[in-house]
Structure 1
Amino acid sequence: MGLIGLGDNDFATSTAPRDVVRRQYLASAAGDLEALRATLAPDVEWTEMAGFPLAGTYRTPTGVTSAVMERLGADWADWTAHDDAYVVEGENVVVLARYTATNKATGKPIDVRVAHHFTVRGGLIVRFEQFVDTALVREAMRP
């Protein structure tokens, strides 16, 4: 199911940087990887922070969803990125957010503050960089 059913048509087709990023969060929360890939540029650079379990830079929409979203879903129950506040300046969108989830192997929950920096051009996310307290995430992974 696409995200068009989740809001008005203007939001679903808007190329405004904030709207594109918001659609990415909604798609992620819904587990709609097709809709999430639709927000990403073909040459996207998606960087998970050093120290994070999935640290590295991933490219292509399919590369991002398979290396990040699908792996998070495999290792964590109810992984959700909650987008709490947006700061927008031109093509730059910074989102103050938090992750909530429960590690499937340990049963330990997380509720971790994060910041995400997106660059949006031509209605697509061309770059993403994550900032998170990786120690809290890793602690939930320890038995």
Structure 2
Amino acid sequence: MNIQENKQRVMEGYKLFQAGDIQNLLGLYHENAEWLAPESEHVPFSGNFHGRAGIAEFFRKLDASVQPLHMEPRRMIAEGDTVVVIGDSTWQARNTGRQYDNPFVHIFTLRDGMVERFEGMWDTGPAERALSTDLPLGQDLGKPLHH
């Protein structure tokens, strides 16, 4: 696939996520794809996942923990088989009801039109604070992003 087709494939994944169609989203990943993300003992969906089954587990943990309120890929940069996406997101912790903003950088490596490797970069701190039951419910979780 060429650079433009790779960018379109990645954007297709974001649209499937936003539509809640995780089954078809998983179909964009190679069977033995890697999912790499920051680690946090306080964020159930953090860390690395391997294979399509592992990535499905990531999405199950994500859905059980937080609800996406806003996810906007703002910039997409591609070269060869790599697509880098810079964007903004807003989430709500299911256990506390707290909302938090979290900018992200996602790096996709594609092979034969499918994602072979995903590397996500974001600050785990906002999710940790939103999910924490040790903070008072009125606790300010940081400055909001301007969408």
Alignment TM-score > 0.5, same fold:
yes
Deviations 1:91-143 (A, max 9, x none): 11110012211101111101110101110111000001111011111111123
2:64 paired residue among 71, 74, 79: 74
State the structure with more CA Rg: 2
Q: Secondary structure at the match of 1:102?
A: strand
* CA distance, structure 2, for counterparts of residue 28 and residue 106 of structure 1: 23
* CA distance, structure 1, for counterparts of residue 131 and residue 93 of structure 2: 6
How much is the aligned-residue C-alpha RMSD, in angstroms? 1.7
* CA distance, structure 1, for counterparts of residue 20 and residue 118 of structure 2: 19
Provide the TM-score with structure 1 as the length reference: 0.81
Q: How far does residue 46 in structure 1 lie from its aligned partner after superposition?
A: 0.6
Alignment identity in percent? Answer: 25
**Which protein has the bigger strand share?**
1
Matched, 1:124 2:114: yes
2:33 maps to: 44
Q: Secondary structure at the match of 2:84?
A: strand
2:53 maps to: 62
* CA distance, structure 2, for counterparts of residue 142 and residue 55 of structure 1: 15
The number of aligned residues is 128
* CA distance, structure 1, for counterparts of residue 22 and residue 10 of structure 2: 14
1:9 maps to: none
Matched, 1:33 2:22: yes
2:12 maps to: 23
**Which protein has the bigger helix share?**
1
Give every structure 1 segment of 4 or more consecutive aligned residues whose post-TM-superposition deviation is greater than 3 Å. Answer: 78-81
Q: Secondary structure at the match of 1:16?
A: helix
**Structure 1 stretches lacking a partner, 5+ long:** 1-14
Provide the TM-score with structure 2 as the length reference: 0.79
Contact kept in structure 1, 2:68 and 2:89, CA below 8 Å: no
1:6 maps to: none
* CA distance, structure 1, for counterparts of residue 47 and residue 14 of structure 2: 20
